[in-house]
Chains A and B, each alone.
Chain A
């Protein structure tokens, strides 16, 4: 992601994160995002369709073939998408480190 790119929304971030270690389908991404976020991030179908569509247009993810009998859509990360995810993770780490440096573990 370029320096001027906007931060990712939680949904976008989790979709990319869930695809980091291999292809997955929409429902799998939704379940995993829910688990990874301790139940905080639920990605509804409308949000999923829009986000995956936008990310395919940007070239961050792509559809990959699925067995004929399976109607579920399988997505995988592209090299660009991997870079976007790593940059965003790095940005979030720096934010978290800065916050920790000032407020520590206070909640």
Chain B
């Protein structure tokens, strides 16, 4: 049988009691925590022992030796701590002892102090996330893209969840019962981030451009462009000519999606396109005299 098990689970900080309950349940089944972490925990197999675990959040320990000694005096074995200030302890389980024996915070004031330490960090981090939401949101408004919108939403969900959590860690119960988990917020935020990054990478190499030299005697020039992903596409047009020029983007059913026109045109238009092929047509006024020439460049990004 496998002796080591790695568990990739993320618990919101304010739901640390659920993490303790899960570690206790695994211990009863024979899986003992070797190293705890925010994203990954390692367990080893030993069905001859049962432990109860404790998680402490303290990111500013004045005297680390005294801290660990104080826990050791009551039978708590220090396992490890995490980069962000969580400390994992365990104690051999004796069913004859009362449950208080396995609590590290036993009065309201110290529970409040511990919650307050994380709460302050949570409010600060939540505010940073909301600032990131605003910055990404402004960028997404200026240059819309699925990547920008997904990252903005991810920051918003994460920021709102963390701010809620910063409050919840101090108010963990509603009508005497534990509150519903906000774990889904993290799943949602991570999914949105992954979607945004995936679209960003896929779109990175997909800009295309075409150039055209005007010839008034030629029929309208058409270039076929493709949209490989459902996303926002920015059409950047640059025309240097004396002629009045009109550029039309149509789908394959002939539906006009965008029109740009003018002399010495410098235009940028952003369109949401579903995957498919589209036609870009360049025409110029019927009255454009023969011999008028110019340069036209169309770039899709």
A interface residues (Cβ-Cβ under 8 A, vs B) = 9-11, 25-27, 30, 41-53, 63, 71-73
Contacts and interface: CB of A to CB of B under 8 A. Distances in A.
B62 interface: yes
Contact of B104 (A11, A44, A72): A44
Interface of A is mostly: helix
A11 B107 contact: yes
Given A25-B73, A47-B106, A73-B66, 17 more contacts: A9-B107, A9-B108, A11-B110, A30-B74, A41-B106, A44-B100, A45-B54, A45-B71, A45-B104, A46-B114, A47-B110, A49-B66, A50-B110, A50-B114, A51-B110, A72-B69, A73-B73
Nearest to A25: B73
Contact of A49 (B71, B100, B101, B103): B71
22 contacts: A25-B73, A26-B69, A26-B74, A42-B98, A42-B103, A45-B74, A45-B104, A46-B54, A46-B71, A46-B110, A46-B114, A49-B66, A49-B67, A49-B70, A50-B110, A50-B114, A53-B66, A71-B69, A72-B73, A73-B66, A73-B69, A73-B70
B109 interface: yes
B77 to A, nearest CB: 11
B22 interface: no
Contact of A27 (B74, B104, B109): B74
B176 to A, nearest CB: 21
Interface residues of B, number: 27
Contacts of A48: 70, 74
Contact of B109 (A9, A26, A44): A9
B225 to A, nearest CB: 63
